[in-house]
Chain A
Amino acid sequence: MAEAGRLILPAGRARRLPVHPVTALRIAIIVAVLATWEAVAASGLLYRDVVPSLVAISRALVETLSDKLFFWHLGTTFYEIGIALVIGGLSGLAVGIALGGSKLMEKAFEPLLYYLGPTPKIIFFPVMIMWFGVGPGSKVAMGAISCFFPVALNAAGGMRQIDKILIRVGRSFRANTWQMVTKIYLPAMRHPIINGVRLGLGVALIGTLLAETKLSNRGIGFLVIQAYSLFNMPQMYSLIIILFVIAIGANALIGRLGGLDDIKRF
């Protein structure tokens, strides 16, 4: 079919549809998935409770969200992630700026960061336990290590893409290092830093939670493993749902606040 000059949906046609076709398809997909789920749950096809009914999951969700203890665990996890983000984020930022600012440092050390980045950090957990004990300290350490790398790499990249002229302006006004960093580097690097923080938050979340599932007696990760060991499937599903909503929501929120596109993947 030859290309039309401009694809203009005649105004009349658009108004005649009760709902936008995209929304309709989304709703249809969601309904289909939920219906299949319920059908599988009711049929008893998979053993025992692996696919609990939606009713059971909803009930578990409500129970979880109205349980004070849940929020205490949630608080613990948030606290761990928060501190991890601060430690890992700030050190990542510092290292990234240092590397980005000096060609020599960059060539010497950035490859280390770049090649060590995509490795499974959770394997460091036994070492973290040895160094920081079995309490929140090791979880925070896990989260901090995880988020250090994306923040540092993004910060280094961000430094490189700063328009050189801005740096020269700063130097011409004889700004000292601290002023250069706070008044020129950081503002100019807003976008890469925000993306780095998003990614960092994502991996800090993963690192901390995985550590909690491995060895902890508090936190959401612990609750998930507890649900597993008690074979409380509806509870496990409700926890996973809550986790995902929080993770995706935080990612999108940071993006919105920073004025970037909705979801940053990698």
Chain B
Amino acid sequence: MSTATLAKNRWLPIALGLGSLVAVIVLVEALIRLGWINRFIVPMPSEIFLAFPRVVREEDVVSRFLLTAGEAFSASILVTLFGVAGGVLLHQFRLLRQATETWVAAMAAAPLVLIYPLYLVIFGRSATTIVMMGFTAGLAPTVLKTLEGLSSTRRVLINVGRSFNLTRSQQFWKILFPAALPTIFVGLRLGLIFALINIVGVEFLINFGGLGQLINELAERYDLAGTYASICFVILVSVCVFVLTERLERWLRPVD
């Protein structure tokens, strides 16, 4: 059987992927036990696995998770409000859009997270810094996607509105905005993801907050297995958020 036919099988590729992952883990475990990898640099996967429940219990992972989630939630609210409003503003005022769209695009590409020391000075080592960092990171993509959605409304739908003599406000709320909603949701999702990445990252960097701080703390305590376990946990949470929002977006999209 050629690899192409193997690829068509529903379960084989997934099995191959996950299987390889498992194989690597088993290999690492073996190499550590044999002493080929230093166990004080790379803890045994079995140890990491055992560290999970311990960390969850001792380090109050649930409340940390809620803290990070709360920060992400606040940042998302801000991103939604200002991001969508900003996109609408740029859409309605053509001159403003022409003048500033490139700037917004540049901001979306810039390493915004590097201003976290600045926020540290302004807001101190607090949740506010973290939320502001998330908001700053998620804003530009949301503005750009909102703008994109509004501008790419199909011409004929706009003409339908005109043929019914809609006022400018009616045209916006009854045609442009609903038509743009799918793209706006894509923007919100991007904004949320950017915000979350930056939030966890900054929590780690400033040693404050929920999950990000947990990793930092365990690392500073030289709890090897704990550090690896918490990193895996955060990756897991991040992947779950990504998948969930993707499903949500796809569920909302068929209205297209």
A21 in contact with B95 given A265-B108, A265-B141 (CB within 8 Å): yes
Complex interface: chain B residues within 8 A of A119 (CB): 197, 234-235, 238-239
Complex interface: chain B residues within 8 A of A266 (CB): 108, 141, 190
Which of A64-72, A162-170, A185-193, A228-236 lies at the interface with chain B? A228-236
* A224 on the B face (CB < 8 A): yes
User: What residue in chain B is nearest A214 (Cβ atoms)?
Assistant: B205
Complex interface: chain B residues within 8 A of A106 (CB): 7, 13
* A73 on the B face (CB < 8 A): no
User: In the assembly, what is the distance between CA of A248 and CA of B14, in Å?
Assistant: 39
* A56 on the B face (CB < 8 A): no
Q: Is the CB of B109 within 8 A of A236?
A: no
Complex interface: chain B residues within 8 A of A247 (CB): 109-111
* Docked complex: B165-219 residues within 8 A CB-CB of A: 190, 193, 196-198, 200-201, 204-205, 212, 215-216, 219
Q: Is the CB of A240 within 8 A of B115?
A: yes
* B20 on the A face (CB < 8 A): yes
* Docked complex: B5-31 residues within 8 A CB-CB of A: 6-8, 12-14, 16-17, 20-21
Q: Is the CB of B120 within 8 A of A228?
A: yes
* Chief secondary structure at chain A's binding surface: helix
Complex interface: chain A residues within 8 A of B113 (CB): 206, 210
Q: Is the CB of B99 within 8 A of A123?
A: no
* Docked complex: A164-217 residues within 8 A CB-CB of B: 202, 205-206, 209-210, 213-214
Complex interface: chain A residues within 8 A of B141 (CB): 265-266
Q: Is the CB of A248 within 8 A of B17?
A: no
Expressed in whole angstroms, the minimum distance between the Cβ of A127 and any Cβ of chain B is: 7
* Docked complex: B55-108 residues within 8 A CB-CB of A: 95-96, 98-100, 102, 105-106, 108
User: In the assembly, what is the distance between CA of A193 and CA of B224, in Å?
Assistant: 37
Complex interface: chain B residues within 8 A of A221 (CB): 114
* B140 on the A face (CB < 8 A): yes
* A15 on the B face (CB < 8 A): no
Expressed in whole angstroms, the minimum distance between the Cβ of B78 and any Cβ of chain A is: 19
Q: Is the CB of B6 within 8 A of A244?
A: no
* B242 on the A face (CB < 8 A): yes
* A124 on the B face (CB < 8 A): yes
User: Could you say which of A25, A104, A206, A214 contacts B6, with CB atoms under 8 Å apart?
Assistant: A104
Complex interface: chain B residues within 8 A of A25 (CB): 95-96, 98-99
* B228 on the A face (CB < 8 A): yes
Q: Is the CB of A115 within 8 A of B239?
A: yes
Expressed in whole angstroms, the minimum distance between the Cβ of B122 and any Cβ of chain A is: 6
20 contacts between A and B (CB under 8 A): A103-B7, A103-B8, A116-B239, A119-B234, A120-B201, A120-B212, A120-B238, A123-B212, A124-B231, A126-B215, A126-B231, A127-B228, A209-B111, A210-B113, A214-B205, A225-B117, A231-B121, A248-B106, A251-B109, A265-B108
